[in-house]
Structure 1
Amino acid sequence: MDEDLRKRLHLAAASHRPDRARMLARIERGMAGDPPARTARPPRRPTPWLRVAGAAVAVCGVLAAGAFAVTQTGSGQREGGQRMAAPPAPVSDGPAGGGALPAESGPLRSDGVVDPHSNRYWAQNNVTVTAARPLTGLTVEIRVALNGGVVSTGFWRSLPEEDFTASAREEGGFLVYRWTLKQGRSVPPGTHTFAGQYNHAEGTRDAGRDDYTARADASGEQSLVGGDFAPKG
């Protein structure tokens, strides 16, 4: 390069003044412009394990909802949403608390005793009723307190079995034996025995709470007697 050209270049460079306003405007226009569009990618399909996990979560939700519904409606209710009533307690057909009743009334007389053949493991409570005239109705009840491991082993009566409806059940803390004369049957005059048998824990059992009652009908005359099984004399 010759000396003359070099001087001209230096002179042109020294005299150049850049247009800052135009440069800034160009930069601003470039920044304000929309960015170049990016190529959209197709959506990725979920991996198989994600689909399985999602299905498991849905099933768990359904099961949880079902369990909650059962918890809310299943307890103490039957179909239709109605609450089932508790079964009624048994009601005694005959009078209770015989120890406070008289042993004799009208044509009926009674007595109660623990059978002398009872032993350390087994006992029998006997009730005798004496009718002065025929009875057209009779209900006898023996109550044995449920103490000392009492368990029924049977019962009997001296009158014909087919004349009575008999039962043995636990009611209100007692083992209750009950005999009821059937409709159309009668009891002849005389002394008749009713007995309830039971096992108990080894030893002498306390019969102080045991009692009996007897209700009779003699041609329209009502009689009610009762007592306990305490030793006599």
Structure 2
Amino acid sequence: MDEELPRRLRDAAGAHRPDRERMRARVERGMAGGRPSARAVRPPRAATPWLRVAGATAAVCGVLAVGAFAVTSAGGDEPRGKRVAAPPSATGAPAAPGGAPRTEDGPLWTDGAVDPHSNAYWAQSNVTLRTAEPLASLTVELRIALTGGVTSTGSWRSLPERDFTVSATEDGGFLVYRWVLRPGRTVPAGTHTFAGQYNHAEGERDASGDSLTAHAVRSSGQRAAVGDSFGRDH
């Protein structure tokens, strides 16, 4: 081996002067090449706890809002009664014997409606009778069509029980409730209620075939008669 080679290498190393500017430029270029662009998309991170809480709160508020709307739609002031309307048949609902086509006659007025507390197995039909003067005679008849499973479960009236005779019979395809004022008794002016109760087949019963009539003699001796169909809107 040439003994002069190590000495020459040492002399060359000592004489070498590195180009610091060129090295700095190369380092800066290398750093610039590895630096992420300002437009680089930051990888998605999991939602922060407060954001998750806000999302859950919004979901709960949405559920509560829907529930409140449902309750508001279903609630409100409950009407005295409801009518179960149905499309009229070709022949129409059967007319009650002796029934009057009007709901008002002189001082007498009447209305028929299914009680709102009726359910899928049981119902109550209400007869509201209003008279502007005392009545010396009164007969109220409520006719319930004998649709599936209809059977009587009782009746009542707002006037004194001792003033009336009451019957519940089946006649011509109807359950007939009849209240007759006893002789010598009177009905005072005002609004009075007569109600018939009955079981029926499961489901919402169609009351469009039901009807009522009321025949009265006024204190003046004049007669009045009114009637109503449960399937007719006023």
- Provide structure 1 residue ranges, at least 5 long, that are not aligned to the other structure: 1-94
C-alpha deviation, 1:97, in angstroms: 4.5
Q: Could you tell me which residue of structure 1 aligns to residue 212 of structure 2? A: 212
Q: Deviations over 1:89-139 (max 9, x none)?
A: xxxxxx935776200001100000000110000001100110100000000
**Structure 2: how far apart are the matches of 1:212 and 1:99?**
8
**Structure 2: how far apart are the matches of 1:162 and 1:96?**
27
TM-score of the pair, normalised by structure 1: 0.57
**Structure 2: how far apart are the matches of 1:100 and 1:148?**
27
> Equivalent residues in 2 for 1:156-171 (5 A)?
156-171=156-171
Do the aligned partners of 2:100 and 2:213 also contact (CA within 8 Å) in 1?
no
Q: Could you tell me which residue of structure 2 aligns to residue 201 of structure 1? A: 201
Code of the aligned partner of 1:215: H
**Structure 2: how far apart are the matches of 1:140 and 1:98?**
11
Q: Could you tell me which residue of structure 1 aligns to residue 153 of structure 2? A: 153
Do the aligned partners of 1:98 and 1:211 also contact (CA within 8 Å) in 2?
no
Q: Could you tell me which residue of structure 2 aligns to residue 221 of structure 1? A: 222
**Structure 2: how far apart are the matches of 1:97 and 1:182?**
22
Matched residue SS, 1:136? strand
> Equivalent residues in 2 for 1:1-233 (5 A)?
96-97=96-97, 101-219=101-219, 220-230=221-231, 232=233
Matched residue SS, 2:135? coil
Structure 1 residues 100 and 180: alpha-carbon distance in aligned structure 2, compared to 1, 3 A threshold? closer
**Structure 2: how far apart are the matches of 1:120 and 1:192?**
27
**Structure 1: how far apart are the matches of 2:208 and 2:196?**
16
- Provide structure 2 residue ranges, at least 5 long, that are not aligned to the other structure: 1-94
Structure 1 residues 136 and 99: alpha-carbon distance in aligned structure 2, compared to 1, 3 A threshold? closer
Do the aligned partners of 1:121 and 1:199 also contact (CA within 8 Å) in 2?
yes
Q: Deviations over 1:16-62 (max 9, x none)?
A: xxxxxxxxxxxxxxxxxxxxxxxxxxxxxxxxxxxxxxxxxxxxxxx
**Which consecutive aligned stretches of 4+ in structure 1 deviate over 6 angstroms post-superposition?**
none
C-alpha deviation, 1:230, in angstroms: 2.6
Do the aligned partners of 1:141 and 1:213 also contact (CA within 8 Å) in 2?
yes
Do the aligned partners of 1:152 and 1:198 also contact (CA within 8 Å) in 2?
yes
Structure 1 residues 166 and 112: alpha-carbon distance in aligned structure 2, compared to 1, 3 A threshold? same
Code of the aligned partner of 1:149: G
C-alpha deviation, 1:229, in angstroms: 1.4
**Structure 2: how far apart are the matches of 1:124 and 1:99?**
21
Q: Could you tell me which residue of structure 2 aligns to residue 68 of structure 1? A: none
RMSD, aligned α-carbons:
1.7
Do the aligned partners of 1:98 and 1:212 also contact (CA within 8 Å) in 2?
no
**When the two structures are aligned, how many residues end up with a matched partner?**
139
Q: Could you tell me which residue of structure 2 aligns to residue 42 of structure 1? A: none
**Structure 2: how far apart are the matches of 1:114 and 1:162?**
26
**Structure 2: how far apart are the matches of 1:121 and 1:98?**
31
C-alpha deviation, 1:228, in angstroms: 1.3
Do the aligned partners of 1:213 and 1:227 also contact (CA within 8 Å) in 2?
yes
Larger Rg: 1
